[in-house]
Amino acid sequence: MTRALIITAPGINCDLELAEAFTLAGAEPFSVHINKLMRNPSLIDGADLIGFPGGFSYGDAVAAGRIMANLMRATLYEALVEAVRRGVPIIAPCNGFQIAVQIGLLPGPILGSDYSTTPPKPTVSLAQNTSARFIDKWVEFVVPSNSRCVWTKNLKVTPETSIIPIAHGEGRFVPRDEEVLQQLEESGQIACRYGSNDNPNGSVGDVMGICDGSGLVLGLMPHPERFLRTTQHPQWTRIEKQENEPLGLQMFRNAVAHTKQNNTQNCVEGAV
């Protein structure tokens, strides 16, 4: 059975819908509170999938995700990097995204090179929305053709169903410099963008989410775990029939399918 670790903390509040997403996609979620996980990082070794849920960890004091990221940098960085090396897909929506970039998991090492032994300095940031306000709405979801992200590949959508909900006050994607952005674009690490006329927070390059070089670790501002059922589509009463599964559910299925492949590969290698 594919086991999905969900890391909770004071102020995390999207853990239940994330658990539901993993369940519907055929995985078996288990939640662990950060206080327990920091005492026992090896719990991460038992996970085939990992989710950093959204919320307001520690009240988003100082900046969104800042305190949780600091606690995790100090105690869990190595175990998380090890998981990625094992081929474990990690999804980090909203607060999870803000945390993942500050831990140093995203954007991760330049393509081809390995993770640094200590957490690197962040090269991208998720800053306060230009409106200086929290905003909740559904936005257009665009996957760049060269994206190497495991979670967002071959999504079957129509223009009508290629949307996803955002809900955040600090989601403005800011790369350290032009070079960082260009590198991410060229290496296919831009996992998803806002529609060009649908950028809700002033993100540079309309960037909505990025992945690491392996495509396993996805951080994104929107909440795929809030679009698992057709009746969650904001205009479902207008649409005669939604041909494909909801966008969010497809993403989680992708990851679960990947872990199955990954496991069989490992078995084969083991056999050789």
Partner 1 sequence: MAMHRIEVHPTQGRADPRGEDALQKARAAGIETLPQKVDTTAVYLIEGDLDNTSISRLTDELLCDAVTETSSQGISTPHAESIIEVHPLPGVMDPSAQAVELAVYRILGKEVSVQTGWRYDFHGIETNVAEELVRKCLANEIVTGIHTTPFFPTEFEHGHAHDMSVPFIPLTTLSDDQLEKLSRDAHMFLDLEEMQTIQAHYKSLGREPREIELETLAQTWSEHCVHKTLKATIHFTGPCEDKRPGHDYHDGGSVTINNLLKCTVAAATHELMADGIDWCLSVFVDNAGIIAFDEDHAVCFKAETHNHPSALEPYGGAATGIGGCIRDIMGTGLAAKPIAATNVFCVANFDHEVPKACLKPRRILGEVVRGVRDYGNRMGIPTLNGSVWFDDRYVGNPLVFCGCVGVMPRDLISGDAQQGDRIIAIGGRTGRDGIHGATFSSAELTDTHADEFSHAVQIGNAITEKKALDAILEARDYEGGCLYNAITDCGAGGFSSAVGEMGEQVGATVQLDKAPLKYNGLTPSEIWISEAQERMVLAVSEENVAIIAEICERHDAELCDLGTFGTPEKELVLKYKDEEIGRLSMSFMHDGLPGTTKVARWTPKNETESGDKKIDVQAMLPRLLAHPNIASKQCIIEQYDHEVQGRSVIRPVVGPEGNGPSDAAVITPVRGSTRGLAIANGLATALEDDPYTIAASGIDECVRNIVCVGGDPSRIAILDNFCWPGAKDEESLGRLVRCSHGCYDAAKAYRTPFISGKDSLNNQFTTEGGETICIPPTLLISGFGIVHDIRTCTTMDAKTPGNVLVLVGETTTNMGGSFALQLEPEMNCDTVLPRVDLTQGPLNATAVHKVITSGLVRSAHDCSEGGLLLAAAEMAFSGNLGVKLDLPTEHSFETTCFAETPSRYLLEVEPSKLDALLTELESVHTTVVGTFTNDATVSVNDCSWNIDELRNAWLGGLQL
Q: Indicate which residues carry an active-site annotation.
A: 94, 223, 225
Q: How far is the CB of 94 from partner 1 (least distance, A)?
A: 10
- Across the chain, where does the E strand assignment appear? 3-8, 28-33, 49-51, 90-93, 124-127, 135-142, 163-168, 172-175, 190-194, 207-211, 217-220
Q: How far is the CB of 180 from partner 1 (least distance, A)?
A: 9
Which CB sits closer to partner 1, 31 or 87?
31
Token pair 């990690």: residue: 90
Binder among 122, 144, 195, 205 for partner 1 (CB under 8 A): 122
Binder among 40, 45, 116, 137 for partner 1 (CB under 8 A): 137
C-alpha 66/C-alpha 98 separation (Å) is 8
- Choices 109-117, 131-139, 182-190, 264-272; region in contact with partner 1 by CB under 8 A: 131-139
Binder among 86, 125, 188, 242 for partner 1 (CB under 8 A): 125
Q: Are strands 90-93 and 124-127 parallel, antiparallel or unpaired?
A: unpaired
Binder among 182, 235, 261, 264 for partner 1 (CB under 8 A): 235
End-to-end CA distance of the chain: 23
Rule CB under 8 A: say whether 158 interacts with partner 1: no
Q: Is 258 within 8 Å of 89 (Cβ atoms)?
A: yes
Q: How far is CA 77 from the centre of its chain?
A: 16
Q: What is the side-by-side strand order in the sheet with 90-93?
A: 28-33, 3-8, 49-51, 90-93, 217-220, 207-211, 190-194, 135-142, 163-168
- Choices 118-126, 185-193, 213-221, 252-260; region in contact with partner 1 by CB under 8 A: 118-126
Rule CB under 8 A: say whether 226 interacts with partner 1: yes
Q: How far is the CB of 262 from partner 1 (least distance, A)?
A: 27
Rule CB under 8 A: say whether 131 interacts with partner 1: yes
- Choices 84-92, 108-116, 149-157, 172-180; region in contact with partner 1 by CB under 8 A: 172-180
Which CB sits closer to partner 1, 73 or 258?
73
C-alpha 54/C-alpha 56 separation (Å) is 7
Q: State the binding string over 55-74 for partner 1 (x if CB under 8 A, else -).
A: xx-xxxxxx--xx--xx-xx
Token pair 């990851």: residue: 255
Rule CB under 8 A: say whether 165 interacts with partner 1: yes
C-alpha 199/C-alpha 104 separation (Å) is 25
Binder among 111, 142, 174, 257 for partner 1 (CB under 8 A): 174
C-alpha 132/C-alpha 139 separation (Å) is 18
Rule CB under 8 A: say whether 1 interacts with partner 1: no
